[in-house]
Amino acid sequence: MRNLKMTIEYDGSRYKGWQKQKYGESTIQYKIENVLSKMTGEDIKVIGCGRTDLGVHAKNYIANFHTECELSIDAMLDYLYEFLPEDIVVKYMEDAAERFHARYNVKSKTYVYRINNNKFRNVFDRKYTYHTDEKLDLDEMRNAAEVLIGTHDFQSFTNLKPNGKSTVRIINYIDIIEKEGIVEVEVNGNGFLLNMVRIIAGTLLEVAKGKLKAIDVEKTLDEKKRSEYGPIAKAKGLFLKDVQY
């Protein structure tokens, strides 16, 4: 039995996230499993490195699957490229160790949220970047980001309903970089809760617009309670950039 590791790139615009759902075919996992099952003649189950929300994209999503198929990796990549939709590409594949698990072996993930802060939206990039022409205070945004770095209970930064499971996560860094009016908020952590990165991005945007202060972010974090009206950034600007093992 082979254990194959895949690196996947996808445009999440028309999908309901990564994870296969009970009804419907519009998830990334479903599309890939369906093609792999036809290719191998087996009932393939793909293990993903985690969930991505409806409308979120990925540049280097990691997944693995087990198969007895003896096709070469090049032949598999060619098959997947031909039969997957154009907005999903398996761009790399390799034989992995028997015990490799795309989700359980993750050490950290890196997400990037893209903001266009120019006067006009870019017509070619509008599906992949949040646009605002409000002047953004990036220094204050960075000050607020510092509050979130380290080990914290992020219950206030998730739409996950309390279920007894830990909502403690470690944020290793948040980098905020601007170039030619494009602001990228890069967040690296050991794991992320439901909507967590989008809520972080939305909160930092409110700070950058002058609607919140760094002290407000700290209070929200300490409250450990999700506000019903808390900011959540639009999904289209979010990309899973990398997964570290």
Residues with a catalytic annotation lie at 53
Q: Which residues contact 53 (CB under 8 A, 6 or more apart)?
A: 12, 17, 194, 195, 198, 235, 238
Q: Taken in order 18, 22, 26, 29, is the CA torsion positive or negative?
A: positive
Q: Which amino acid is at 30?
A: Y
3-state SS of the chain: helix, strand, coil percent to 5? Answer: 25, 30, 45
The string of DSSP letters for 73-124 reads: HHHHHHHHHHHS-TTEEEEEEEE--TT--TTTT--EEEEEEEEE-SSS--TT
Residue 178 to residues 130, 132, 155, 220, 224, Cα–Cα distance (Å): 14, 14, 29, 26, 31
Residues 20 and 194: their CA atoms lie apart, in Å, by 16
Residues 43 and 106: their CA atoms lie apart, in Å, by 25
Answer whether 61's CB lies under 8 Å from 10's CB. yes
Going through 135-205 in order, the beta strands assigned E by DSSP cover 150-153, 168-179, 182-189
